């Protein structure tokens, strides 16, 4: 039971990941899908940050006496991944604007109907 | 001096050239600039292949930080081979593609088009050359985000939804890869592929490692369009601008196959990859499904671009089938098909770009009598199609031959039959095209004649390469065989 609770951040990671994934699959609104995708990506950030944590660790700054510090590498990796996530969201939003202009709707169902009626 | 920096220049040149395109305005200058960058990359890839052909491994420490702390670019025969495929397909497509690009994309957007094109190109080269697992993810996203933009430039509004669909599925795939890499880092504390390969055996019992492998496999399969994760591909190839279809069909999925091979054989190692999961059986089943079902979809397809997109899914099946044999012969056939399929599909999509240029669509009903109206274009489609089927004297025959040899060697006679049936189905859809083009009377009202010289030149360059490498196989078979031996750790 104690290990179950100690690993709570990993449980949150899995919960968020599944929530995001479900939204991407179940929602028909293109913007909501992107929101789901964002939650999905953010959960992975949590996974990386969790694995870099060292018990009682501080910020990775060199000081006299050398206190234990958290692993900074996952943070750096996640900075990159955040940038990637932001750019993906930006491209997705730009596409949605164009889709709205071309179809007059951002509901997946309506778009399929319009394409099928061609 | 410069030659020692070739690995990094391979990526940096197109990466820096991409934003410069925004500053250029004249279409001719933009085209020439991108073409020169692309050809330079191809030359560099060729030099790298020469340096690594005898089994040499070039290790380049990025910024002088030694591996495994810094990012390492690690070039062996496999990388150099894939780099050469990507760079030469890009050069040939650009060489012939100028007219088609300028017709299908508004002049005001041309500079953005070339920027996205070079970014995508740089990303694909980066995935291939890097020796760092996280770097693979970063370059994967660079190339993917650029390709979403490229696809959305298609004239049909369905290009937008195709790009959106690809974006959603592509991002899920990339995030799966990110999770996989993260879990690998968790158990080993390193991101360098070579270092990972050495440390993973110590933790081969951990469940985390197994999960990481599963995530990576699914993520890469999404990018590779492995059946049944191929749903983004047909629409993306159909509605993208013609030149983009030709470029992506020849390069993007090939690079994903490379990533799969790299992770299975170099990072996880064969012993782990094929015992932790029943990978051989999974790959074999999915490959068979891809070959049969995607080929059948192609037969009933009315839009010719989509027809060839489905056929791409089937052809990827052949490559994966080769991997699943886990033998030198199987891998050789996969690697051969990697090269050969890039040539076929680039030639076919370039020929379709010619049709698109003259007619504005590539529907089955509108190519009646095309053999008379555009004999050179249609000739290219027929030869490319025959190459897909695997007729002798074309590259398609070479790959099928080696694949069948590998299947016989592995004792799977059923698979030999499946490869042959797959080829027969390909014959059916190619024959449908031939019938429409040669034996149906064209509409008298359509007076459009042959496509412009430059487009035809690019197309026929690729078609002739299809025939040349179908006859003189010393380069391709030699490289593929030695690469397969390196990957499997078999001494020649």
- Whether A95 and B148 lie within 8 Å, measured CB to CB: yes
- Whether A40 and B134 lie within 8 Å, measured CB to CB: no
Chain B residues with beta carbon closer than 8 angstroms to that of A18: none
Q: Are strands B58-61 and B72-75 parallel, antiparallel or unpaired?
A: antiparallel
Chain B residues with beta carbon closer than 8 angstroms to that of A37: 168, 171-172
* pLDDT for residue B443: 65
* pLDDT for residue A115: 84
* pLDDT for residue B490: 65
Chain A residues with beta carbon closer than 8 angstroms to that of B164: 30, 92, 95-96, 99
Q: Could you give the number of structural domains in chain B?
A: 1
**Of A30, A91, A102, Cβ closest to residue B157:** A102
Say if A69 is an interface residue toward chain B (CB within 8 Å): no
In a domain, B122, yes or no: no
Using the predicted structure, report yes or no on whether residue B449 has a pLDDT greater than 80. no
Using the predicted structure, report yes or no on whether residue B456 has a pLDDT greater than 50. yes
* pLDDT for residue B492: 45
Closest to B290 measured CA to CA, from B407, B391, B426, B383: B426
**Mean per-residue pLDDT over chain B, rounded:** 88
Closest to B468 measured CA to CA, from B382, B403, B398, B401: B398
Chain B residues with beta carbon closer than 8 angstroms to that of A95: 148, 152, 160, 163-164, 167
Using the predicted structure, report yes or no on whether residue A12 has a pLDDT greater than 70. yes
Tokens of B205: 């019992």
Q: What is the mean pLDDT of residues B300-324?
A: 90
Cα B455 to Cα B99: distance, rounded to the nearest angstrom: 7
- Whether A84 and B138 lie within 8 Å, measured CB to CB: yes
Say if B158 is an interface residue toward chain A (CB within 8 Å): yes
Cα B463 to Cα B318: distance, rounded to the nearest angstrom: 21
Residue B79: which region, alpha, beta or left (left: phi > 0; alpha: psi -120 to 50)?
A: alpha
Residue ranges making up the domain that contains B489: 278-492
Closest to B432 measured CA to CA, from B339, B256, B300, B285: B300
Q: Helices B375-389 and B453-471 sit at what angle, rounded to 10 degrees? A: 30
Query: For A20-62, what is each residue's pLDDT tens digit?
Result: 999 999 988 999 999 999 999 999 999 998 888 888 787 877 7
For residues B406 and B322, is the Cβ–Cβ distance under 8 A?
Answer: yes
In a domain, B108, yes or no: no
Say if A96 is an interface residue toward chain B (CB within 8 Å): yes
Using the predicted structure, report yes or no on whether residue B1 has a pLDDT greater than 70. no
Cα B377 to Cα B248: distance, rounded to the nearest angstrom: 20
- Which of the four pLDDT bands, split at 50, 70 and 90, describes residue B446? low
Cα angle value B105/B110/B114 (rounded, 5°): 115
- Whether B161 and A111 lie within 8 Å, measured CB to CB: yes
* pLDDT for residue B241: 92
For residues B482 and B474, is the Cβ–Cβ distance under 8 A?
Answer: no
Q: Which of A65-74, B56-65, B156-165 has the highest mean pLDDT?
A: B156-165
Cα A66 to Cα B172: distance, rounded to the nearest angstrom: 41
Per DSSP, the three-state class of B472 is: coil
Consecutive H or E run containing B111: helix B110-129
Q: In the CATH hierarchy, which fold is given to the domain comprising A2-55+67-116?
A: Helix Hairpins (1.10.287)
Cα B267 to Cα B270: distance, rounded to the nearest angstrom: 9
Query: For B127-169, what is each residue's pLDDT tens digit?
Result: 999 989 999 999 999 999 999 999 999 888 899 999 999 999 9
Cα B492 to Cα B486: distance, rounded to the nearest angstrom: 8
Cα B483 to Cα B474: distance, rounded to the nearest angstrom: 14
* pLDDT for residue B445: 63
**Of A48, A80, A92, Cβ closest to residue B164:** A92
Chain B residues with beta carbon closer than 8 angstroms to that of A48: 182
Using the predicted structure, report yes or no on whether residue B409 has a pLDDT greater than 50. yes
Closest to B31 measured CA to CA, from B117, B114, B150, B87: B114
- Which of the four pLDDT bands, split at 50, 70 and 90, describes residue B89? very high
In a domain, B267, yes or no: no
Chain A residues with beta carbon closer than 8 angstroms to that of B163: 95
* DSSP-derived secondary structure for B168-227: HHHHHHHHHHHHHHHHHHHHHS--BHHHHHHHGGGGTT-HHHHHHHHHHHHHHHHHHT-T
**Of A47, A91, A111, Cβ closest to residue B167:** A91
- Label each residue of B325-344 as H, E or C: CCCHHHHHHHHHHHHHHHHH
For residues B110 and B101, is the Cβ–Cβ distance under 8 A?
Answer: yes
Neighbouring-strand partners of residue B130: B73
Say if A91 is an interface residue toward chain B (CB within 8 Å): yes
Cα angle value B406/B407/B411 (rounded, 5°): 115
Cα angle value B126/B337/B453 (rounded, 5°): 80
Say if B186 is an interface residue toward chain A (CB within 8 Å): yes
Q: How far is B418 from chain A (nearest CA, A)?
A: 34
- When mean pLDDT is compared across A60-64, B284-288, B323-327, the lowest value belongs to A60-64
- Which of the four pLDDT bands, split at 50, 70 and 90, describes residue B175? very high
For residues B126 and B255, is the Cβ–Cβ distance under 8 A?
Answer: no
Tokens of B82: 């894939």
For residues B226 and B215, is the Cβ–Cβ distance under 8 A?
Answer: no
Using the predicted structure, report yes or no on whether residue B98 has a pLDDT greater than 50. yes
- B458 burial (CB, 10 Å; 0-12 / 13-18 / 19+) is buried
Using the predicted structure, report yes or no on whether residue A118 has a pLDDT greater than 80. no
Query: Locate tokens 């890009």: which residue?
Result: B90
Q: How far apart are the first and last CA of chain B?
A: 32
Query: For B213-257, what is each residue's pLDDT tens digit?
Result: 999 999 999 999 888 888 889 989 999 999 999 999 989 999 999
Share of chain B above pLDDT 90, in %: 35
Tokens of B413: 């006679």
Cα A76 to Cα A62: distance, rounded to the nearest angstrom: 17
- Whether A87 and B141 lie within 8 Å, measured CB to CB: yes
**Mean per-residue pLDDT over chain A, rounded:** 88
Closest to B344 measured CA to CA, from B315, B320, B364: B315
* pLDDT for residue A108: 87
Q: What is the mean pLDDT of residues B385-401?
A: 88
Using the predicted structure, report yes or no on whether residue B367 has a pLDDT greater than 70. yes
In a domain, B14, yes or no: no
Q: How far is B186 from chain A (nearest CA, A)?
A: 7
- Which of the four pLDDT bands, split at 50, 70 and 90, describes residue B182? very high
Best probe of the B interface among A20, A46, A50, A77, by most B CBs < 10 A, is A77
Chain B residues with beta carbon closer than 8 angstroms to that of A99: 157, 160-161, 164
- Whether A80 and B179 lie within 8 Å, measured CB to CB: no
């Amino acid at each position: 039971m104690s290990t179950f609770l100690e690993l709570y951040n990993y449980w949150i990671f899995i919960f968020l990941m599944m929530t995001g994934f479900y939204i991407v699959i179940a929602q028909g609104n293109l913007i909501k899908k992107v929101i789901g995708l964002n939650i999905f990506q953010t959960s992975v950030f949590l996974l990386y940050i969790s694995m870099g944590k060292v018990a009682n660790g501080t910020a990775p700054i060199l000081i006299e006496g050398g206190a234990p510090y958290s692993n900074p590498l996952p943070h750096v990796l996640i900075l990159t991944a955040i940038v990637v996530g932001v750019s993906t969201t930006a491209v997705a939003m730009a596409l949605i604007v164009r889709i709205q202009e071309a179809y007059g709707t951002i509901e997946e169902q309506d778009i399929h109907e319009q394409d099928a009626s061609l | 001096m410069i030659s020692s920096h070739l690995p990094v220049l391979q990526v940096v040149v197109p990466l820096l050239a991409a934003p410069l395109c925004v500053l250029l305005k004249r279409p001719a200058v933009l085209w020439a600039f991108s073409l020169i960058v692309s050809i330079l990359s191809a030359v560099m890839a060729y030099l790298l292949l020469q340096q690594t052909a005898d089994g040499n491994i070039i290790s380049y420490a990025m910024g002088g930080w030694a591996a495994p702390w810094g990012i390492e670019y690690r070039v062996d025969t496999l990388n150099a081979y894939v780099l050469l495929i990507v760079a030469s397909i890009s050069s040939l497509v650009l060489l012939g593609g100028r007219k088609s690009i300028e017709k299908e994309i508004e002049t005001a957007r041309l500079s953005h088009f070339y920027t996205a094109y070079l970014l995508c190109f740089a990303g694909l080269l980066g995935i291939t050359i890097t020796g760092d697992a996280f770097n693979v993810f970063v370059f994967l996203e660079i190339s993917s985000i650029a390709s979403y933009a490229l696809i959305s430039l298609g004239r049909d509004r369905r290009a937008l939804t195709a790009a959106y669909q690809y974006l959603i599925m592509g991002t899920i795939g990339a995030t799966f890869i990110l999770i996989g890499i993260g879990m690998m880092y968790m158990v080993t504390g390193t991101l360098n592929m070579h270092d990972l390969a050495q440390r993973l055996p110590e933790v081969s019992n951990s469940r985390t490692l197994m999960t990481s492998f599963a995530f990576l496999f699914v993520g890469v399969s999404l990018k590779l369009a492995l059946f049944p994760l191929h749903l983004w591909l047909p629409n993306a190839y159909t509605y993208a601008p013609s030149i983009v279809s030709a470029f992506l069909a020849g390069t993007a999925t090939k690079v994903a196959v490379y990533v799969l091979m790299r992770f299975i054989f170099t990072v996880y190692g064969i012993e782990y990859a094929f015992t932790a999961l029943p990978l051989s059986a999974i790959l074999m089943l999915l490959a068979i499904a891809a070959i049969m079902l995607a080929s059948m979809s192609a037969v009933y397809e009315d839009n010719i671009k989509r027809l060839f997109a489905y056929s791409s899914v089937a052809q990827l099946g052949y490559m994966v089938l080769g991997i699943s044999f886990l033998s030198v012969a199987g891998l050789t056939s996969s690697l051969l098909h990697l090269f050969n399929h890039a040539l076929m599909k680039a030639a076919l999509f370039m020929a379709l770009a010619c049709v698109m240029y003259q007619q504005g669509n590539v529907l089955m009903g509108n190519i009646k009598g095309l053999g008379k109206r555009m004999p050179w274009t249609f000739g290219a489609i027929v030869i490319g199609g025959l190459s897909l089927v695997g007729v002798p004297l074309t590259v398609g025959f070479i790959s099928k031959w080696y694949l069948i040899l590998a299947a016989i060697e592995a004792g799977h006679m059923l698979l030999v039959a499946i490869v042959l049936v797959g080829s027969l189905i390909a014959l059916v859809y190619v024959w449908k095209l031939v019938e429409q083009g040669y034996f149906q009377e064209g509409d008298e009202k359509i007076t459009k004649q042959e496509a412009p010289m430059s487009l035809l030149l690019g197309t026929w360059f690729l078609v002739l390469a299809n025939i040349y490498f179908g006859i003189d196989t010393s380069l391709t078979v030699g490289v593929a065989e030695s690469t397969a031996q390196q990957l499997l750790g078999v001494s020649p």
